Amino acid sequence: MAAWAERLAGVRGVLLDISGVLYDSGSGGGTAIAGSVEAVARLKRSPLKVRFCTNESQKSRRELVGLLQRLGFDISEEEVTAPAPATCQILKERGLRPHLLVHDGVRSEFDDINMSNPNCVVIADAGESFSYENMNRAFQVLMELENPVLISLGKGRYYKETSGLMLDVGGYMKALEYACGIEAEVVGKPSPEFFKSALQAIGVEAHQAIMIGDDIVGDVGGAQQCGMRALQVRTGKFRPGDEHHPKVKADGYVNNLAEAVDLLLQHTDK
């Protein structure tokens, strides 16, 4: 593999995944990953543009940012690209009225959306709310529509909480797709539109940007398909097999965000 200086040449902007990179979620709010608070602070003092790009769909941006601030991170709502606000924009543009199957924590993002007489279903990482009853209701709403529309906030397979690996929205999206014979529209990583909106927010071109994430498919593969570079951290949901993934090869694997930031500050143009 080429030297780091070559791999990181021309990088002007950094997209940071949140869960598994900054912190591991869990009961009581979760815990910061060692060195990440300082790493974010150093990155923000550097000339590099920084944007947080998350598929978090259990919490509103306000709740997420509040939690991260309490853990010590320098982060504000305006710096976060998240799937719920992006979904609200799509719903408004297309006159869609959602039946929501989401976690209570993210419901406030949909406060100004018309939900009467639903003509689509929106699912997110609903956690415990993925009961049979709630899944069946979403299924029935879709089956009653002439042109069923299913929007999924991300399609992650699983994520890591402090207590262990947890099923993410992706499997439940697949369940509804299969039962209804339809294909969901994914809002969030690895959708190219989602990465592009994060890049637009910091005015950086894809070829000048690098994604740092713990998900070899959603973060690394998705970013590379948009023309970005991507590093995988060995924290969060990282598993050793990821470094030998049959389809995706990161531009580099690092132990954690602190190491990634060391490399970036050392090897990108001052």
Closest distance of CB 265 from its own copies, Å: 35
Interface with its own copies: number of residues (CB under 8 A): 31
- Output 89 or 136, the one with its CB closest to its own copies: 136
Interacting residue with its own copies among 31, 76, 114, 140 (CB under 8 A): 140
| Closest distance to its own copies from the beta carbon of 62 (Å) | 24
Q: Report the residue from 127, 262, 263, 265 that binds its own copies according to the rule CB under 8 A.
A: 127
User: Of 6, 2, 8, 1, which Cα lies nearest the Cα of 260?
Assistant: 8
Q: Which is nearer to its own copies, 32 or 182 (CB)?
A: 182
Do residues 122 and 101 make contact, with C-beta atoms less than 8 angstroms apart? yes
Site string for its own copies, 218-257 (x = CB under 8 A): ----------------------------------------
Q: How far is the CB of 189 from its own copies (least distance, A)?
A: 16
Looking at residues 158 to 187 of the shown chain, list those that interact with its own copies (rule: CB under 8 A).
Answer: 158, 164-168, 170-172, 174-181
Q: Stretches 37-45, 75-83, 122-130, 183-191: which one binds its own copies (CB under 8 A)?
A: 122-130
Interface with its own copies (CB under 8 A), residue from 23, 110, 139, 238? 139
Q: How far is the CB of 133 from its own copies (least distance, A)?
A: 7
CB 61 within 8 A of CB 67: no
Q: Which is nearer to its own copies, 4 or 158 (CB)?
A: 158
Token pair, residue 157, equals 């397979």
Other Cβ atoms closer than 10 A to 47: 9
Among 25, 58, 129, 224, binds its own copies (CB under 8 A): 129
Question: Hey, which residues does 122 pair with through a beta bridge?
Answer: 100, 151
Cβ nearer to its own copies, comparing 85 with 127 = 127
CB of 181 to its own copies, least distance (A): 7
- Check if the beta carbon of residue 13 is closer than 8 Å to that of residue 199: yes
Other CB atoms within 10 Å distance of the CB of residue 68: 24
Residues that bind its own copies (CB under 8 A): 126-133, 135-136, 139-140, 143, 157-158, 164-168, 170-172, 174-181
